[in-house]
Amino acid sequence: MTARAPATRIEWRLATVVDALPETPSTRTLRLDVPGWPGHRAGQHVDVRLTAQDGYQAERSYSIASAPEDDKLALTVERLDDGEVSPYLTEELRAGDKLELRGPIGGYFVWDVPIGGPLFLVGGGSGIVPLMAMIRHRNSCLAAGDREARKKLPARLLYSSRGWDEVIYRDELAALAAKDPTLEVVHTLTRNPPDGWTGFHRRIDRAMLDEVAWPASDNPRVFVCGPTPLVEAVASTLVDPV
């Protein structure tokens, strides 16, 4: 019997905020310099720990937004009004500040270019964050001018948001899709669409998935992230399409 190698302990590291970029009125992306960062895969997350002056500590998990190829680690955080950690991260933290984190964590919800596609991503709200890491990873690995490589690995994103001003990475997604015909981005808004809106205006349902998803015969790689009701509804529909 072969002995199993001991699991590598995930250590706490001290990260420095390089900059903090607003994404929506309630979300902000923190770009971090993390000395000794071991690298990550698209879809993984980290634990963040804050320590108060009296010693009280609070920890939360946040998905990694950056591609593995990026030189800085990015976390996109949505502010929760009753949260212990997110208000500080989205409103107080500034460039030069430090915070503790450990990771990367997670080995099932991950995607790398060699896994292949087609790639079908379904996100709701801040659930877009790990999916964006996958899109950025795909974009980093496939040369901009190599159309044949991109045709072999097409990607579609179906993204549900409450309103147009709450679409995280809105401009970046539009720019990436405009430059890459093999990346399709489909939005659905569940509340108050802007004037002239011609896209979907409802929660993700079977009819929408039938229209947007790759057919099962294409053997797509599917990742769904968002509020639990959305994930359960989309997963059950895709597994049982009849």
Residue range 194-233, pLDDT digits in tens:
999 999 999 999 999 999 999 888 899 999 999 999 999 9
Residue of 77, 97, 95, 96 whose CA lies nearest to 85: 77
Instruction: Give the residue-averaged pLDDT of 76-83.
Output: 90
* CA pseudo-torsion sign 61, 29, 157, 104: negative
Residue 8's pLDDT is what?
60
Give Cα 121 to chain centroid, integer Å: 10
Per residue in 48-73, pLDDT (tens digit) is 998 878 888 889 999 999 999 999 99
Q: At residue 27, does pLDDT exceed 90? A: yes
CATH of domain 12-105: 2.40.30.10
Q: Where in the chain is the domain with CATH 3.40.50.80?
A: 113-239
* CA pseudo-torsion sign 4, 5, 6, 12: negative
Residue 10's pLDDT is what?
83
> Which residue(s) pair with 123 in the sheet?
159, 225
Classify 100 as helix, strand or coil. strand
Q: Where in the chain is the domain with CATH 2.40.30.10?
A: 12-105
CA distance 137 to 67: 5
Q: What percent of the chain stands above pLDDT 70?
A: 93
What is the pTM for the complete model shown?
0.91
Q: At residue 242, does pLDDT exceed 70? A: no
Residue 147's pLDDT is what?
65
CATH of 113-239, one of 3.30.450.40, 1.10.3860.10, 3.10.129.10, 3.40.50.80: 3.40.50.80
Per residue in 102-119, pLDDT (tens digit) is 999 998 899 999 998 899
Residue 21's pLDDT is what?
95
